[in-house]
Amino acid sequence: MDWFEENARDLPWRRPDAGPWGVMVSEFMLQQTPVSRVLPVYEQWLARWPRPADLAGDAPGEAVRAWGRLGYPRRALRLHGAAVAITERHGGDVPTDHAQLLALPGIGEYTAAAVASFAYGQRHAVLDTNVRRVFARAVTGVQYPPNATTAAERKLARTLLPDDDRTASLWAAASMELGALVCTAKNEACVRCPVAALCAWRLAGKPAHEGPPRRGQTYAGTDRQVRGRLLAVLREAVAPVPQSALDRVWEEPVQRARALDGLVADGLVEPLTGGLYRLPQS
């Protein structure tokens, strides 16, 4: 925590004026996406939709359009759905109660804990990839955590969590920042780590990972890439787009059709009569 006070990045969602809505937007955007890509989209998003009700009053397709090239665009629809629920159930204010946060559409265990902790200073174990990696190395003595969060990890996180609410929320942010800046997945900077002298993995000689193979982040040639290209055409269009315009973005017809069908099934694209397509309007 002392290290965090001196080394924490000045990020807009950490500033007091961000408010709970700003924290929630950042948590949706930062899932599987680096800070450098999130920053410009985050600023534009909050300028356009400074409160949940502002986003809820717009079409979900506008959220997908504003999401740009952040990737995993279903997050935009989920954030829009959460904004609608906040507006309808909570008078437009992001709820403070963890259970109410968890009940919002599109919000899982991690996001509910992160918003409650970072926006409202509550005591919750916030387990993102960075925190899990720090705990795996410093406490468990292995290079990487399991592919999916386990009950043992949750128990360990709760054990390490300080008792005081404010201290616990600061601890959550500090451990996350340590994983993002120092205890990184590759090329970890142990010489700059404030807990290097206590790190079980370092003290054991940094044994190599022995668990299941870590999932890669392949993109080129995948359906994800095709979906991204199709959505790019629809985001840039002001009117419904004909099938012929979508056909030009990818040569292989079977994969292209599969990607488009997936976008429609996910609610990211709305088919119209006459072979036209647009971003969802309702």
Written as six digits, the tokens of 271 are 């088919």
Contact predicate 258/87, CB 8 Å: no
The proportion of the chain whose per-residue pLDDT surpasses 90, expressed as a percent, equals 93
Q: For residue 13, is it left (φ>0), alpha (ψ between -120 and 50) or beta?
A: alpha
Residue 256, domain CATH: 1.10.10.10
Q: Which amino acid is at 79?
A: L
Written as six digits, the tokens of 40 are 């410009």
- pLDDT digit string, tens, across residues 3-23: 999 999 999 999 999 999 999
For residues 134 and 113, state if they share a domain: no
The count of structural domains within the chain is 3
- Catalytic residue status for 27: yes
Question: How far, in Å, are 5, 116, 123, 162, 253 from residue 166 at the CA level?
Answer: 14, 11, 7, 9, 55
Of the residues 27, 153, 177, 188, only one is catalytic, namely: 27
214 in any annotated domain: no
263 in any annotated domain: yes
Structural domain including 256 reads: 223-278
118: Cβ contacts below 8 Å, ≥ 6 apart = 13, 14, 23, 27, 126, 169, 172, 173
211 in any annotated domain: no
For the chain, give the mean pLDDT. Answer: 95
Please give the pLDDT value at position 61. 97
- pLDDT digit string, tens, across residues 208-218: 998 777 666 67
Please give the pLDDT value at position 216. 64
218 in any annotated domain: no
- pLDDT digit string, tens, across residues 81-117: 999 999 999 999 999 999 999 999 999 999 999 999 9
For residues 108 and 194, state if they share a domain: no
The whole-angstrom distance between residue 188's C-alpha and the CA centroid of its chain comes to 22
15: Cβ contacts below 8 Å, ≥ 6 apart = none
For residues 261 and 198, state if they share a domain: no
Please give the pLDDT value at position 221. 86
Q: What pTM value is reported for the model? A: 0.91
12 in any annotated domain: yes
269 in any annotated domain: yes
Boundary (domain end) residue, out of 91, 120, 149? 120
Residue 3, domain CATH: 1.10.340.30
Position with higher pLDDT, 222 vs 47: 47
The proportion of the chain whose per-residue pLDDT surpasses 70, expressed as a percent, equals 99
- pLDDT digit string, tens, across residues 130-180: 999 999 999 999 999 999 999 999 999 999 999 999 999 999 999 999 999
- pLDDT digit string, tens, across residues 18-66: 999 999 999 999 998 999 999 999 999 999 999 999 999 999 999 999 9
Please give the pLDDT value at position 110. 95
Average pLDDT rounded to a whole number, residues 256-267: 96
Three-point CA angle 42, 43, 49, nearest 5°: 85
For residues 135 and 110, state if they share a domain: no
Boundary (domain end) residue, out of 174, 204, 234? 204
Q: Which amino acid is at 84?
A: V
Please give the pLDDT value at position 219. 78
